[in-house]
Amino acid sequence: MFYPACKDCRQTYESSLCRWAFNVKGLLLVIKSVSLSGLLCPLFFFSIVCFGSEEGIKSENAPAVTSGSATIKKISNRLTSFGVLETISRPTITAEIPGVIEEIYVEEGEAVQRGQRLAKLDMTDYLIAETLSKNELQKQEQELAKRLDYFARIQTLSETKNVSEDMVVSTSRDIAIDRFSVEIMRKHNEIAARNVAKGKIISPISGVVTKRYVSTGDYLAVSMPIFSIIDDSTLRVRLKISPQDASKVTVGQRVTLSSPEFSDEEVSTVIKAIVPVIDPVSNSIDVLAEVNNSTLISGMRVEANIYIREEYEALMVPERAVFSKSGKRYLFVVNDGRIREHQIEAGLREGGWVEIRKGVTNGDVLVFDGYRGMKDGDSVSGVGIAR
């Protein structure tokens, strides 16, 4: 190609850097030759390419979210509490009369039956007292019998006017006194006999001796402890619940007990009673349940689940998908590439999932992740499936 000589450097463009300048000048001449109407077309095209439409921008910049559908799960409405197993029957046997321990027949850890003799007091003095009271009672009864016989005879004589009326009245009064004396002595004799019986220490229940407090030869005053016995065939657990939950709990509801101290197995029972008094220390109400199980031991700590409602099917979503605004709870539902706020009524929570009682249906596509900072009506793209 022929290039004219450069009038500045006097060299050809082919061998000079001025070749670039020549090309630029040529381009400027071409631009000048373009009409105004021809120039508008590239400018319009440039504006479309550079700026685009608002919808296009939003579509390209729309964030990617992870979505999924609600899941039908079987759940149950449970109230969790903790308690300690305790024996229902655990009497401490005490001395009912003063005396000296003469014999002890059982030791700690030994199983006993109801009515079994555990120990015996020295009963010498009590046996004497019983004998004396018995003899005195017999004497009083004999005196009363004589008085009654005498009264019968004077009554007969009074009919023939051989005995004065005053004698009859006086004898009648003496009979009343004798009868009263007999009753007093009968009571004394009964007390003496009961004291003799109390000298034999008897087990009131069937169970196991957990503590022996005395030894042979010890003197016992009234109310001093002798033995402690428990009946561990039936245990009770005392559960603490808040006053707010008290209205949900009723007698007969199922309760499951578990504890790492005995096994992974759950023990099932029912609520036996509810104590309608708030403990001022713990601000709680006691719920009582009883259980029969040979593997359980009094004193074990247990976790209890009180079944307010037994197992049922519920619509569940991951808890992370629910967000709050102005004290209300919402889910984002995907519809035609946009997200829409749906106010919901949430229910139970279980294992990272939350029950949805109202607001969405089983077929709705829900946003699980990636919605932070977004609002109702925003576009979304790259919708993935939650795992």
The conformation of residue 34, written as its DSSP 8-state character, comes to: S
Q: What is the mean pLDDT of residues 197-201?
A: 95
Q: What is the mean pLDDT of residues 197-206?
A: 96
Q: Is 305 exposed, middle or buried (0-12, 13-18, 19+ CB in 10 A)?
A: middle
**Residue 269: partners with Cβ closer than 8 Å, 6 or more residues away:** 254, 255, 256, 257, 289, 290, 291
For residue 382, the model assigns a pLDDT of 52
The predicted-structure confidence for 244-268, as pLDDT tens digits, reads as follows 999 999 999 999 999 887 767 789 9
Residue 298 near residue 232 (C-beta atoms within 8 A) = yes
Mean local confidence (pLDDT), 76-94: 92
**Reported confidence tier of residue 28, pLDDT bands at 50, 70, 90:** very low
Question: What percentage of the chain carries pLDDT values higher than 90?
Answer: 51
Query: What's the Cα-to-Cα distance from 217 to each of 94, 97, 354, rounded to whole Å?
Result: 16, 15, 69
pLDDT of residue 370: 65
pTM beyond 0.85: the answer is no
If one compares 107 and 15, the residue with the highest pLDDT of the two is 107
For 284-299, write each residue's pLDDT tens digit.
999 999 998 778 888 9
DSSP per-residue codes, 157-222:
HHHTT-S-HHHHHHHHHHHHHHHHHHHHHHHHHHHHHHHHHHTEEE-SSSEEEEEE---TT-EE-T
Look at the block and give the residue holding tokens 């000079």: 16
